[in-house]
Structure 1
Amino acid sequence: MKKVLYIGWIGFGNLGDELLWNVFKELNKHYNYSTKIEIVPSLPGVDINHTEEYDTVILGGGSLLLPGYMAVLKQAIDLGKDVFIWGSGLDWITKEQLDIINSGQSFSLEKTFTEKEIILFRETLEKAAFVGVRGPITKKVLETVGVNSDKIKVIGDPGVLLNPPIVKRKREKIAAINWGTTFNRLYGQDEAAIENALLQVSRKLIKSGYKILLYVVWGSDREASKRLYNKLNDPLNVTYDPSLYSEEELIEKLSVCSLSINFKLHANILSLAGNVPCIALGYRFKVFDLFQSLGLENLVVSTDSDTLALDIMEGIQEIELNNEKIIEQYKKRKEHFSPLIIEPIKNNFTVD
């Protein structure tokens, strides 16, 4: 029996990371490898720094392309283990660097990674059995540090495999808003300004006939979301739901909405999975990376914008005009990425 270590930021109550692990787990069940593979998830208490007992190490979905994880993978490779990157992406790229990348200019990562860390990335990924990354901007950055372009496949975020509810419910004029915190580790470093913009947008939506649903995907987001609810002070038109749902439960709840505005990355995937178009608050690199992979980059508004409320309202207008077109675009990208995400699992993590 092959023993596999799945590395993800799991066991900490963050729905995005948990759902990626759940997708991985369910795919393995579906392809009937339960008798061939023993999967050990990197829950708290599992020592990922010692990979001697494993045959294969998987760096799972999420923003896990970080020096610390690269060191773990390098150690596994040096021990002769097969290493797979499965939908992981970069995140901590500055907005200045992101703008340079998107403009097509050459750029340097000296402000983000040390020379030693860049060498670690290059050597680890070159020797990995499979490198499937979340989005095209992640691929561009990895090419810049010297990883062979042919080695890197853009396979998308594994969360795109999530499906809409089986029972289709009637759509209502509800705008779901996911608000929370990253403790100001975001583009613009000003969560108060974002909250103020969401306050303005919510009031405009209510005036135009929308109900507002405030929801969270992480326990630490409750305080910010409740604060926004209190500022709106309109219990007739605004609902605050502090519950932490499973991905299936949340997709079902969102599926009755007309649109959503989301702070956390996978809140957007859950909305789109429920056939609900969304505005993504581009608070860090990973949001832009994901939405470029989906061909929906026009639905991202950067949190460092001086006109954030206006930008969100323009995005809402885009959704109201092109609702079906947006969902069709998402479905096309899902159809494209699904076999790429499934391939390594279907092939039992064998190396070509």
Structure 2
Amino acid sequence: MNVLYLGWLGYKNIGDELMWDIFREKFNQKVDITKYKLIPSTRILQVRLRNNKYYLKDFDSIVLGGGSLLVPGYITILYNAIKVNKNINLFIWGSGIDWLEKKELDRFLSINSEQNKLKREFNHFKDKQFKHKLQTVIQHAKFIGVRGHFTYEYLKSLGLQLDHVKVTGDPGLLTTTIPDSVGNLNSKKVVINWGTANQNLYGKDEEALENSIVDVVNELITKGYEIYIYPIWNKDIAPCKSLYEKITDKKNVHLINTVLDQYQILELIKDARFTINFKLHANVLSAARGIPFIALGYRFKTFDFANFIGLDQLVISTSDPNFTENILTKVSYIENQGSLLFNDMSAIQQTVENDLDQIFEYFR
């Protein structure tokens, strides 16, 4: 039987690739691979699936993998799969919502406050059939795990029936297990993940954000820190070089101008005092290694992830008017509280693993 893993693969983005790697490893361990054949969604295959739904007949099961994939394009593929094969098995494995504008995020965050109990619908997608398609997929799916509580509440705001939808967390948390001894309270190493979102970020001004990070780096250098800058996507390499070139004191700054895989990133950050990260899965890897992080909240998904692990206070919006000052405040907070921030992370990882592993029970 053919099982399709549907994800944003083939674009040299480590976050999406590492979640595919995790799923594939678990699938090979837990499933009879003489009975089931696991197939990743290459770029070419995704084009075929979008343009001709009858290619979907080749699969007995489809797993929508980790990432911000609860969007019209991917949901339409799952919806079409039901249309061409009513007996197809569908699964959602840690996917999430993204792309809400900052004003929508702020309104969203106020829903459960004492000052605002109003229910609001945030259907920001242009595809007017998205809600219907998503509800059809949810009703048909065997297993549905979503990335965070914010994703769940967003889906709830659409009026969807979510009886068998579970908040399972981001699959990237399973990249590694936290060792007994993590980080180093005496370390003067700070690892910074930098890159681009092609201006699709809160504040919509990457140059201003880059200049603020330069100010942060300069301040960290005066505090005696040694800085390492690295990309997580091939399109992040040029922005990393640009950031590096703007720093005057390069003696204490190191540029990594190649995309590392998840294991090389874990090796890079293992002895860091803390990390500062642009991209979501740089934060996820830091959390998975037990290293305190400061997350640049450039889109909804970063807030969703930090909330799931109970560390909302480590996120700073890229539209914050006092970005430099407030990020340095978070540095001080980590310096004082860092050793306590991840006391519960091993338990969170175990819960995520237990919940996400339920999917493999359907391949027995």
Q: How far has the Cα of 1:274 moved from its partner?
A: 2.3
Q: Which residue of structure 2 lines up, in the alignment, with residue 22 of structure 1?
A: 21
Q: Which residue of structure 2 lines up, in the alignment, with residue 7 of structure 1?
A: 6
Structure 2 CA distance for partners of 1:200 and 1:161, relative to 1, 3 Å: same
1:177 to 175, 178, 192: 192
Q: Which residue of structure 1 lines up, in the alignment, with residue 63 of structure 2?
A: 58
Q: How far has the Cα of 1:166 moved from its partner?
A: 7.6
Q: Does 1:251 align with 2:263?
A: no
Contact 1:122–1:146 (Cα < 8 Å) also in 2: no
2:346 to 331, 343, 348: 331
Q: Which residue of structure 1 lines up, in the alignment, with residue 300 of structure 2?
A: 285
- Give every structure 1 segment of 4 or more consecutive aligned residues whose post-TM-superposition deviation is greater than 6 Å: 165-170
Q: Which residue of structure 2 lines up, in the alignment, with residue 87 of structure 1?
A: 94
Q: Distance in 2 between matches of 1:33 and 1:311?
A: 51
1:296 to 307, 311, 330: 311
Structure 2 CA distance for partners of 1:5 and 1:177, relative to 1, 3 Å: same
Q: Does 1:142 align with 2:155?
A: yes
Q: Distance in 1 between matches of 2:153 and 2:102?
A: 15
Contact 1:265–1:287 (Cα < 8 Å) also in 2: yes
TM-score, normalization by structure 1: 0.94
Q: How far has the Cα of 1:116 moved from its partner?
A: 2.1
1:207 to 207, 212, 222: 222
Q: Distance in 2 between matches of 1:136 and 1:237?
A: 39
Question: What amino acid maps onto 1:115 in structure 2?
Answer: K
Question: What amino acid maps onto 1:10 in structure 2?
Answer: L
What's the secondary structure of 1:198's corresponding residue? helix
Q: Which residue of structure 1 lines up, in the alignment, with residue 321 of structure 2?
A: 306
CA deviations over 1:55-97 (Å, ceiling 9, x no partner): 1011000001111111110111231211101000011111112
CA deviations over 1:80-121 (Å, ceiling 9, x no partner): 211101000011111112111211142232443443222222
Structure 2 portions without partners, runs of 5+: 112-117
Q: Distance in 2 between matches of 1:324 and 1:30?
A: 34
Q: Which residue of structure 1 lines up, in the alignment, with residue 333 of structure 2?
A: 318
Q: Does 1:274 align with 2:279?
A: no
2:210 to 195, 210, 220: 195
Q: Distance in 2 between matches of 1:169 and 1:161?
A: 16
TM-score, normalization by structure 2: 0.91
Q: Distance in 2 between matches of 1:274 and 1:45?
A: 34
Identity among equivalent pairs (%): 36
What's the secondary structure of 1:10's corresponding residue? coil
Structural RMSD (CA)? 1.8
Q: Distance in 1 between matches of 2:317 and 2:174?
A: 26
Q: Distance in 2 between matches of 1:238 and 1:330?
A: 30
Contact 2:182–2:289 (Cα < 8 Å) also in 1: no
Contact 1:86–1:133 (Cα < 8 Å) also in 2: yes
Structure 1 portions without partners, runs of 5+: none
